[in-house]
Amino acid sequence: MSVKIDLSEKLKNIIFIEIKDISILTSVLKPDSSFIKHLNDNKQELFLPIDTKFITNKISKTKDFNNIPFSEIFYAMFYCISLNEEFKYNNLYKKLLEESKNGIVFLKSKIAENIKNNNLEEAYILMKVLVQIQGDEEALEKIVCICDSLRKKNRFYEEEELDYIQKLIQMRNYALPYLYLSSIYFDNNEFELSLINLNLYFEKGGKEDKLILELKNKLLFKVDYNKAKEILYDKPIEALKLFLKLLEEEEEDPLLYYYIAIAYRIIGNHEKAIYYLNESLSIESNYVEVFNELGLNHACIRDFNRALNYFKKAFEAIKTVEICTNIIMCHLELNHREEAMSYLKIAKSIDAEDEIVLQLEKILKE
């Protein structure tokens, strides 16, 4: 469900009452307001909104707005403007707010109150009104800030935040919007794009505080990490250099030790691969992929009994055809023909058309 659809549910309790005597607006309008004249000149009817929870039986029957605080009418107007941007009376409501004595002041006070109470969704609804009426840089910055906090709890706010960020950039191409873009891309694991936008933030004069420095360091780490993973099989030595450099910064990441071990296996240094795999297990003892890697490395140095133990541990957790065929090959190397046949049946039950399974079946039939 999108944010717009979700928030629009808040409109369901709003009703509209036609105002026949528009003179009741005099008390809330500025002395120089042209609102009443506008209504008269255009022979325009006036329907004002109100939340049903503020309507008593008496008011429903008499349509007497004098018994309702005008602040409640304003609040219902905020909802109409914010949550249904196509509503036909919105321009009229905006004009009424702008020409009222305290409408904008009341709006800003409610925004501040909701931010103070950490009621950010309500603050966001109200900020949308202020952005539509004023649309200045300060209002846009504030709504982007609110959106950013909401997005971290509800990803559907991302589209809204991006829209307001683009409006900020169009208004003035300066540093702050790019910091928010960097944050969005970081949370989406698009680290290169996040780093590009963080660099744009600095290029446009953005300052580096403790939190931004932490983000920068995390990004540099993530970008190098991803680059190393991408080139691991094609350029294992280059990948290994990157992984070992990253290990100086992050010593408690079991995955990092795992990838270092893969690089060492690819270049044929199985002893070091085994060492780093054991380091990985010392941090995370139930990492299945590490057991499989240990099996591969022990098989490469022809220690098939140990390899078999590790493969079986991995197979207990995830019964993949790849691990099962590794077990079969170990049994073949150890001349355990019956055990190999037993695991071949299991492999065929997982994927009878797997190329390695078919090859092993042919070998066992000979």
- What SS3 string covers the chain? CCHHHHHHHHHHHEEEEECCCHHHHCCCECCCCCHHHHHHHCCCCCEEEEEHHHCCHHHHHHCCHHHCCHHHHHHHHHHHHHHCCCCCCHHHHHHHHHHECCHHHHHHHHHHHHHHCCCHHHHHHHHHHHHHHCCCHHHHHHHHHHHHHHHCCCCCHHHHHHHHHHHHHHHCCCCHHHHHHHHHHHHCCCHHHHHHHHHHHHHCCCCCCHHHHHHHHHHHHHHHHHHHHHHCCCCHHHHHHHHHHHHCCCCCCHHHHHHHHHHHHHCCCHHHHHHHHHHHHHHCCCCHHHHHHHHHHHHHCCCHHHHHHHHHHHHHHCCCHHHHHHHHHHHHHCCCHHHHHHHHHHHHHHHCCCHHHHHHHHHHHC
CB-based contacts of 22, cutoff 8 Å, min separation 6: 36, 39, 40, 46
Of 13-27, 29-43, 82-96, 246-260, which gets the smallest average pLDDT? 13-27
Mean pLDDT for the stretch of residues 7-33:
84
- B/e letters for 212-236, b = 16+ CB within 10 Å, e = fewer, are beebbeebebbebbeebeeebeeeb
Indicate if the pLDDT at residue 335 is higher than 60.
yes
Whether residue 274 contacts residue 294, with contact meaning beta carbons closer than 8 Å, is answered with: yes
Q: Closest Cα partner for 120 from 162, 154, 77?
A: 154
Q: Are 264 and 280 in contact (CB under 8 A)?
A: no
What are the tens digits of pLDDT across the range 75-114?
Answer: 999 999 998 888 889 999 999 999 999 999 999 999 999 9
Q: What is the pLDDT of residue 23?
A: 84
Between residues 230 and 10, the one the model is more confident about? 230
Per-residue model confidence as pLDDT tens digits over 112-161 = 999 999 999 999 999 999 999 998 999 999 999 999 999 999 998 999 99
pLDDT in tens, 187-207: 999 999 999 999 999 999 999
Cβ pair 326, 299 in contact under 8 A: yes
Q: Give dist(CA 238, CA 255) in Å, integer.
A: 18
Mean pLDDT of 166-183: 95
Q: Is the pLDDT of residue 176 over 80?
A: yes
Q: Which domains can be identified in the chain, with CATH numbers?
A: 183-227 (no CATH), 232-318 (1.25.40.10), 320-366 (no CATH)
| Tokens describing residue 312 | 């079986």
- Rounded to an integer, what distance in angstroms lies between the CA atom of residue 311 and that of residue 305? 10
Are 76 and 93 spatial neighbours (Cβ–Cβ below 8 Å)? no
Q: What is the pTM of this model?
A: 0.77
Beta bridge partners of 18: 47
Q: At what angle do helices 176-187 and 157-171 cross, to 10 degrees?
A: 160
The stretch 352-361 carries a mean pLDDT of: 93
Residue 1 has a pLDDT of 47
CA–CA gap between residue 249 and residue 246 (Å, rounded)? 5
Residue 269's pLDDT is what?
Answer: 97
pLDDT digit string, tens, across residues 30-69: 999 999 988 888 888 888 988 887 765 445 555 555 567 8
Q: Region 331-336: what's the mean pLDDT?
A: 94
pLDDT value of residue 365: 84
Note whether 206 and 212 are within 8 A (CB).
yes
361 pLDDT more than 60: yes
Task: For residue range 270-322, list pLDDT tens digits in order.
Answer: 999 999 999 999 998 888 999 999 999 999 999 999 999 999 999 999 999 99
**152: how many CB neighbours lie within 10 A of its CB?**
13
118: left (phi over 0), alpha (psi -120 to 50) or beta: left
